[in-house]
C-alpha cells in the first residue's frame, strides 16, 4: 500500500523545461518512480543529452520534443502530439534580470511572455489533455515575497503565477485537475551560472546563501521532491510550495 502511494507507475509526466536544472531533476525522479516521461524545451542537443540520462532510470522510452513555451501555437501542436497527460510541469522559461535604471519595456514584456503568458496559455490549452486526477505544476520564485535587487519583473511574474494557481485550482477543481506552484529559492542550476555575471554585480549568490537560515543554497532535487509530492498527493491544489531553505524567514 505504501509503495503504491509512492509510485507514478505508467503515469504520463510531461516536463516543459525538462532538459536542465529543476525540470531535469524532476523528470529523472519521475522516471525512477515508474512514470512515462516526456520532456520539452528549445535546444535539441540539450534535450538529447537529458534523454540519455533519464532513460538510464526509466522503464519506458523517453520522448523529447522541441517547444518554446512563448509560442502558443507550437505549444498547442505539442499538446496534440503528446495526447493524454497525467502530470504537466512547466519550469521552462527565460527571464533576464535587469537593474531598474537599465530596464527596457522590451525585456520586461519578454519576461512576462516567457514565464507568465507561456505557462498561463499552456495550462489553459492543456485542460483537454488532462484526465480526472491530473495535475499541473507551475513555477514562481521566492522573489515574489523576498525581493532581490534587479528582479523587479521576476518578482512581479512570481507573484502573478502564485495568484494564477489559486484561481486555476478553483476553475479546474470540478474536473478533478489540480493546479499548484513551486516557488524555488536559490537553487544551484545552470540558470544561476547564466545570471552569475548579473548577480555578482549586485548581490553575490554565495552571500545570499550564507545569509539564509540553513546557510546554503538548494539543489534541483529539493524542488523535484516537492514536485513529486504534488503529483502524488491528490488532496493538494491551489498551493504554492516554497522550497527556499527558510529564505523568507531571514530578518
Ligand atoms: N534556480 C533558481 O535559483 C530559481 C529560483 C527561483 C525560480 N526559479 C524558477 O524555476 C524554474 C526552473 O529554473 P532552473 O533553475 O531549473 O532553470 P534552468 O536550469 O536554466 O533550466 C531551464 C529549462 O527550461 C528550458 N527553457 C528555457 N526557456 C524556455 C522556453 N522559452 N521554452 C521552453 N523551454 C525553455 C531550458 O532549456 P532550453 O534553454 O533549451 O529551452 C531548460 O530545460 C524557472 O521558472 C525559474 O524561473 C529558479
Q: How would you write the pLDDT of the chain (251 residues) with one tens digit per residue?
A: 567 788 999 899 999 999 999 999 999 999 999 999 999 999 999 999 999 999 999 999 999 999 999 999 999 999 999 999 999 999 999 998 888 888 899 999 999 999 999 999 999 999 999 999 999 999 999 999 998 877 899 999 999 999 999 999 999 999 999 999 999 999 999 888 766 555 555 566 677 778 889 989 999 999 999 999 999 999 999 999 999 999 999 88
Top mutation candidate among 20, 37, 97 for ligand 1, by most atoms within 8 Å of CB: 20
Sequential DSSP letters for 40-82: EES-HHHHHHHHHHHHTT-SSPPEEEE--TT-HHHHHHHHHHH
Q: Find all residues with CB under 8 Å of 96, minimum gap 6, and list them.
A: 107, 110, 111, 195
Task: Please identify which residue in the block is written with the cell numbers 524532476.
Answer: 26
191 CB under 6 A from ligand 1?
Answer: yes
Ligand 1 center to 94 CA (angstroms): 6
- For 24, 62, 186, 235, the CA distances from 219, given in Å and listed in that order, are 12, 23, 9, 26
- Give the pLDDT confidence score for residue 19 in this predicted structure: 98
Give the integer Cα–Cα distance in Å for 73 and 121: 10
93 CB under 6 A from ligand 1?
Answer: yes
- Domains of the chain in start order, with CATH, are 2-241 (3.40.50.720)
Give the integer Cα–Cα distance in Å for 249 and 135: 29
Taking CA atoms only, the protein residue closest to ligand 1 atom 48 is 184
Ligand 1 center to 22 CA (angstroms): 7
- Give the pLDDT confidence score for residue 4 in this predicted structure: 78
- Whether pTM > 0.75 for this model: the answer is yes
- Give the pLDDT confidence score for residue 196 in this predicted structure: 59
Amino acid at each position: 500500500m505504501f509503495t503504491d502511494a509512492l509510485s507514478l507507475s505508467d503515469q504520463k509526466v510531461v516536463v516543459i523545461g525538462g532538459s536542465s536544472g529543476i525540470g531535469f531533476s524532476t523528470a529523472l525522479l519521475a522516471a525512477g518512480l515508474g512514470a512515462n516521461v516526456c520532456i520539452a524545451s528549445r535546444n535539441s542537443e540539450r534535450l538529447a543529452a537529458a534523454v540519455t540520462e533519464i532513460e538510464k532510470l526509466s522503464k519506458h522510452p523517453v520522448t523529447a520534443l522541441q517547444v518554446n513555451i512563448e509560442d502558443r501555437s507550437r505549444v498547442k501542436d505539442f499538446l496534440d502530439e503528446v495526447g493524454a497527460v497525467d502530470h504537466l510541469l512547466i519550469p521552462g522559461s527565460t527571464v533576464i534580470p535587469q537593474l531598474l535604471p537599465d530596464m527596457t519595456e522590451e525585456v520586461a514584456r519578454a519576461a512576462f511572455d516567457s514565464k507568465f503568458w507561456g505557462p498561463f496559455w499552456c495550462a489553459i490549452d492543456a485542460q483537454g489533455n488532462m484526465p480526472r486526477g491530473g495535475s499541473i505544476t507551475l513555477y514562481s520564485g521566492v522573489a515574489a515575497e523576498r525581493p532581490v535587487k534587479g528582479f523587479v519583473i521576476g518578482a512581479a511574474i512570481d507573484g502573478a503565477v502564485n495568484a494564477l494557481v489559486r484561481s486555476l485550482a478553483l476553475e479546474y477543481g470540478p474536473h478533478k485537475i489540480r493546479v499548484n506552484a513551486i516557488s524555488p529559492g536559490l537553487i544551484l542550476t545552470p540558470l544561476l551560472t547564466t545570471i552569475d555575471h548579473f548577480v555578482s554585480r549586485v548581490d553575490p549568490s554565495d552571500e545570499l546563501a550564507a545569509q539564509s537560515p540553513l546557510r546554503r543554497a538548494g539543489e534541483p532535487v529539493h524542488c523535484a521532491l516537492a514536485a513529486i509530492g504534488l503529483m502524488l498527493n491528490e488532496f493538494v491544489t491551489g498551493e504554492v510550495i516554497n522550497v527556499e531553505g527558510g529564505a523568507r524567514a531571514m530578518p
